[in-house]
């Protein structure tokens, strides 16, 4: 059971890292701080396609319930989610229950995005699966704390 606990924690670390990396690149690209010239053209094209998809999504779903985010704001929020998840996963690997609170905060931030934009899409399934894995992590961790 300890192995599963560490695998789940490590999974949150890896996902948080890639979310932070991807959102950070998109934030730098859309905020005008970086043009992506150093990247291979096919990678830059994929990033630009991602920006275009999010632009279309934001245009179709104005965030009126909580806040209306600009394109860089959206990617900044996503980068924050990645940082919270990454740090939470690292703390969980170090057997710190504070990591669980950060992973829970990541899920709250993720859910707030759905509330803000009123959009139900395939990412809702992603949120549900991720939250289920988080609950499994907490249950495994609580058993380890009792013994």
Low-confidence ranges of the chain (pLDDT < 50): 147
- Give me the domain span that covers residue 44: 2-146
Which of these, 26, 23, 25, 18, lies nearest to 51 by C-alpha position? 26
Q: What is the pLDDT of residue 147?
A: 46
For the segment 53-69, what is each residue's pLDDT rounded down to a tens digit? 999 988 887 656 678 88
Q: What is the pLDDT of residue 103?
A: 98
**Dist CA 89 CA 27 (whole Å):** 23
C-alpha to C-alpha distances, 132 to 86, 103, 104, 123, 135, nearest whole angstrom: 18, 12, 11, 14, 5
> How many domains is the chain partitioned into structurally?
1
């Amino acid at each position: 059971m300890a192995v599963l606990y560490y695998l789940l924690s490590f999974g949150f670390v890896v996902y948080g890292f890639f979310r932070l990396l991807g959102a950070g690149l998109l934030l730098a690209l859309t905020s005008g701080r970086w043009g992506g010239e150093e990247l291979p053209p096919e990678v830059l094209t994929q990033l630009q396609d991602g920006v275009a998809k999010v632009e279309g999504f934001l245009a179709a779903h104005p965030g009126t319930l909580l806040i209306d985010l600009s394109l860089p704001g959206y990617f900044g929020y996503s980068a924050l989610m990645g940082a919270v998840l990454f740090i939470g996963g690292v703390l969980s690997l170090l057997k710190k229950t504070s990591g669980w609170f950060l992973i829970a905060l990541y899920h709250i931030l993720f859910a707030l995005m759905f509330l803000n934009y009123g959009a139900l899409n395939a990412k809702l399934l992603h949120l549900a699966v991720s939250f289920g894995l988080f609950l499994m992590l907490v249950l495994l961790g609580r058993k380890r704390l009792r013994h």
